[in-house]
Amino acid sequence: MALLPIVRYPDQRLRQPCKPIETFDTQLAALADDLAATMRAAPGIGITLAHVGILERLTVIELDGPGSLGVYVNPVIEWVSPEMRRHTEGSVSMPGVTDEVERPARIRLNYQDLSGATKTEEADGLLSVCLQHEIDQLDGIFWIDRLSRLKRERIIKKYGKLKG
């Protein structure tokens, strides 16, 4: 497994929609392994190929340590609950800053696994937050876009100070 270089905000690739993955092979599986290793090293609990500058629809999420890795190829949210929840979010592409984001409490999504098989999954709690956050990234929506203009400006200023 190799660590991939993480692109940092304000890299424009973080604002680009990702294209669907069409080839399911050992190369894709190796890329998913590299992405997972990169996420763990960051450290983070979720990451997309967009975070490493590859504009294709793949995300990995690991909430409960080794053995709990979820791999989602071409994920699309098909339903969201009307109930909303707030959760603190951040990004491996903007380390050192976080803020609360409001999102639907539950979702249902369609995705493919590494063999190309289509899956449907429902999620709530932290998994729901992570999936929405990472799917936003695959759609070219960076997490701070979900904040008010004032909060977004504060986060960008704080991040600028952290970067030096």
User: Which residues, in sequence order, are bridge partners of residue 103?
Assistant: 85
C-alpha neighbours within 13 Å on the C-beta side of residue 148: 4
Cβ density class 103-119: b for 16+ within 10 Å, e for less: bbbbbebebbebeeeee
User: Minimal CA–CA distance to 136: which of 19, 24, 15?
Assistant: 15
Task: Please list the active-site residues.
Answer: 134
Instruction: Answer yes or no: are the C-beta atoms of 138 and 124 closer than 8 Å.
Output: no
User: Minimal CA–CA distance to 75: which of 7, 122, 11?
Assistant: 122
